[in-house]
Structure formats: structure tokens, C-alpha cells
Amino acid sequence: MDDLRADLIERLLEALPEDSVLTDADVTTGYARDMAGFCAAGTPAVVVLPRTVEQVQHVLRTATALRVPVVPQGARTGLSGAANATDGCIVLSLVKMDRILEISAVDRIAVVEPGVVNAALSRAVAEHGLAYPPDPSSWEQCTIGGNIGTASGGLCCVKYGVTAEYVLGLDVVLADGRLLRTGRRTAKGVAGYDLTRLFVGSEGTLGVVVGAVLALRPAPPRQLALAAEFPSAAAACAAVCTIMERGHTPSLLELMDRTTVRAVNALAQMGLPESTEALLLAAFDTADPAADLAAVAELCREAGATEVVPAEDEAESALLLQARRLALTALETLRPATMIDDVCVPRSQLAGMLDGTAAIGQKYGLTIGVCAHAGDGNTHPVVCFDPDDADEARRARESFDEIMALGLALGGTITGEHGVGVLKKEWLARELGPVGIEMQRAVKQAFDPLGLLNPGKLF
């Protein structure tokens, strides 16, 4: 053990229990990366699992004193490399800070620590007749802190919006160990710059979130869903555009292409229609969901759907939603590795995005499955490849880049909810341009002048 690492560990143990400071290489290696492919990860010097705000402050003060980088982590379900370690860093895992501190039905807020699992919060607030809408596909594993760090979305975004719209206030430990409180507990508030929104999506590069005040909604009625089969992705996308143009507000509007449907069937024997080129799932949680589904079913038929199957009850609806949640996992079984893209385009350009992605797959001779939050134009092309095949790996990387370029050309953005991390640093610069990057760096410098927080991420 070199002198710096020994000194680091000794100082950390001055205010942390031994079981919160992990030093065994076999253990710390397990914290080195998230779920992203094609993203380099370093070797951490130590992994720390604090349980209190004061312990996080001690970690940051120690890191600043010794000039050691800090990589904050949640459940490591991210898909951009934002939680990947750098050599010699402190990995600051916040999963032990997992308490729900308050739920108020009157104020419609929850106060939570960052390690609270998304699904656990949803179940807890449901007991009070409330709902926390953001629901990423990994909601059974991902944490609220991670959701805040990447500004994550989910299946219900088309109606209820993304994480940023539900974060009212934050407790953040800054790089030098000071505690910053942003935002409010009130329904309204416009005092000063909106630092809360600044931290949402900052991927741990500006500070470490140790607490959050989250907005809640009244629990909606149970939703009913339908599945519509289409002979082409273009026809399915036309249905999406018509549904939104006619003023419908589905609680979910999701799309899976043929590759994804077959992969889900192979993984979970769901019995989805494998003959379809695109499967559109729509759901409503309104007072009369059956009537809303009937209207949408007619629009799907007009757009060319070959079959429309409404779920008969909540159980069937839940099964359809579970099929969509399994999409990324299922596509990962097709080849030894995947690169999961996250390109969001205007709804009017959704067909161009899907058809263009299919053309890129043909060009490079690769399997690229697409699932999408179709209602808000957020596509997830999944490039499947063998990383041990050098030529196939090269083609995978080139196809990934072409998909990103296609999204920008269609007026979209390089990430709708997965974040930038390591994977998309070059593309962030292309999207924002030199002036945008200059301003982003200026913000980073103001909060983290030594560059210790999650270095190498974003830019």
C-alpha cells in the first residue's frame, strides 16, 4: 500500500466505522463501473459507504485535503459510465443512506436520503394515497440519488414528466465538505437562481446529493393498456403523432421493434406477436380508461395497425408493461455485449429516427433493437455485438456514433435520460458547441475548483 493510500485510509477511519471503508481489492473492483459498455474504468483506492451527512462531509474534506478524486455512486445501474471509477479515487457509494425521512400527504412531499430505491419510495408513498411518478425501467434497483444525478425519466414521462420536475430541494455536500441546501418545501418558490435544477443531471460533478425534497402527486386510478401491431415502424410512429395531435394524454406510450419483441419473448415467454414489425403499447389512468383506449385503438387502426388488443384487466395491463420493462435486459441476451443509446428527437421526427437506425444496422451488419418512450420521442437503440471480435466491436462503435449524429440531424439531443458520463463526452461538445461548453466548465469551476468531483465525466 503506497503512502498516499495509507494516509487516505487512516484519515477516513478517523470519522468512519471500519465496515464503511472497503480496501480489499477483490471487493473494491466490484464498485469500479456501472452498466455501460465501451466505457473505461479505473481502479479505486478505497470504497466508502457512509450512513450520515456528517460522514459524507468528512470524506469530502479528506479528499480535498489530500487532493484525491471522488466518484459518487448509487446502485450503478447507469448506462453512460457516469459512476465509473478513476484510478486512485474514493468511490463514495451512497446506498447505505436509504431512509425515507418524511412523507406528507398535506404538503405532497417526501424527504429522502439518496440511497432510497425508486420502487421502495413508490410503495411507501402509495400507502398514503400518493405517487412518485418517475419510474425508470430499473426502478426496482436504481436509487433516487442516481435518478437525480442523471435526471432520469421512465415509462410514464409522456404524461407525468421526468425527475427534474419532482425535485423541489436538495441537501448537497460540496467538494470542500460544506453543506448546501437548495430549493424549498413549498409548492411555489422563485428565490434566487434555481440551483436545485442545476444539480439535477449534473452526474455528481458539482456536489454530492445527501438529501432530497420530492414532490408527490395523488395516486392515479389504476391504468389499462392496449397493444397494437404495425407492419412498419413508420406506421407505428404515425399513430403516435396522431394520438398526441388529437389531444390524448396517455400515461404510457411505448414502442418496441420486431427485434426487441422477439428478444423479450425468448427471455420471458411473454407471448408477444413476433410477426409484427413494431408493437405500440398505450395506457391510460383516467376516470374512464376503457373509453380512452377505444379512441386510441381506432386511431391505431387508421394508421395501419393490423391488430389492436386491449387488456381486459389490470393484470393483463401489468403484463404488457412488464414486457416493456424487460426490453433492455432482453436485448442484452442477443450478443455478448451491448451499447445502449439514448437519443431523443421531436415526436414528428420519430419515424425518421427509427428508419434511420434500421438503415445503420443494415449498413454495419449488426443487430440493433429499438425500444422507445414513443410519446416523448426518446428512443433507445441497442447495438448488440461481440467485444472480442475486433471488427465487430469497431462496427458497433461506428454505428453508435452514426445513431447519435442522426439524432442531432433530426433536431434531437444525445441523451434524454441516461446522461453523458464517459460514453458521450465528445457528443456533448458537438451538441452544445464551444460557447455552451465554456459556460458548463465555468459552472464546474465555481463548485469544484480543484476538479475532484467525478473527474473525466461530461467533458
Could you read off the pLDDT of 118-170 as tens digits, one per residue?
Answer: 999 999 999 999 999 998 988 999 999 999 999 999 888 999 999 999 999 99
User: What ranges in 345-424 are assigned the alpha helix state H?
Assistant: 350-364, 390-409
| C-alpha–C-alpha distance, residues 226 and 301, integer Å | 13
Q: Say if residues 149 and 201 touch (Cβ distance below 8 Å).
A: yes
Report the percent of the chain where pLDDT is more than 70: 100
pLDDT at position 321: 87
Are 3-93 and 100-218 equal in CATH topology? no
How many other C-beta atoms can be found within 10 angstroms of the C-beta atom of residue 391?
Answer: 10
Mean pLDDT of the residues in the chain = 96
| Residue with grid cell 394520438, as numbered in its chain | 243
pLDDT of residue 312: 85
Residue 1: pLDDT band (50, 70, 90) is low
What fold characterizes domain 3-93?
3.30.43
Residue-wise DSSP of 35-93? S-SS------SEEE---SHHHHHHHHHHHHHHT--EEEESSS--SSSTT---TTPEEEE
Mean of pLDDT values over 207-217: 98
Q: Please tell me the distance from the alpha carbon of residue 156 to that of residue 269, in angstroms, as a whole number.
A: 25
Mean pLDDT of 305-333: 91
Rounded average pLDDT over 105-125: 98
pLDDT of 39-60, one tens digit each? 899 999 999 999 999 999 999 9
**The pairing of beta strand 378-385 with beta strand 367-373:** antiparallel
The Cα diameter of the chain in Å comes to 71
CA distance 231 to 167: 40
Assigned C-alpha cell, 339 = 451499447
- pTM comes to 0.94
Task: Give one word for 209, left, alpha or beta, with left for phi > 0 and alpha for psi -120 to 50.
Answer: beta
Q: How many CB atoms lie within 10 A of CB 94?
A: 28
Residue type for 310, please?
A: P
Report d(CA 433, CA 205) in Å as an integer: 20
Instruction: Give domain 100-218's CATH architecture.
Output: 2-Layer Sandwich (3.30)
Domain boundaries, the chain: 3-93, 100-218, 222-325, 334-449
- Helices 53-66 and 3-12 pack at an angle, to 10 degrees, of 150
| CATH number 3.30.1490.20 is the correct assignment for the domain at 334-449 | no
For residues 169 and 112, the answer to whether their CB atoms sit within 8 Å is no
Q: Which residue shows C-alpha cell 426518446?
A: 378
CA-based nearest residue to 252, from 302, 199, 201, 296: 296
Grid cell in block for residue 245: 395531435
* Closest of 339, 155, 325 to residue 252, by C-alpha: 155
89 phi, psi to nearest 5 deg: -85, 165
Looking at domain 222-325, its CATH class is alpha beta
Q: Is 459 helix (H, G, I), strand (E, B) or coil?
A: coil
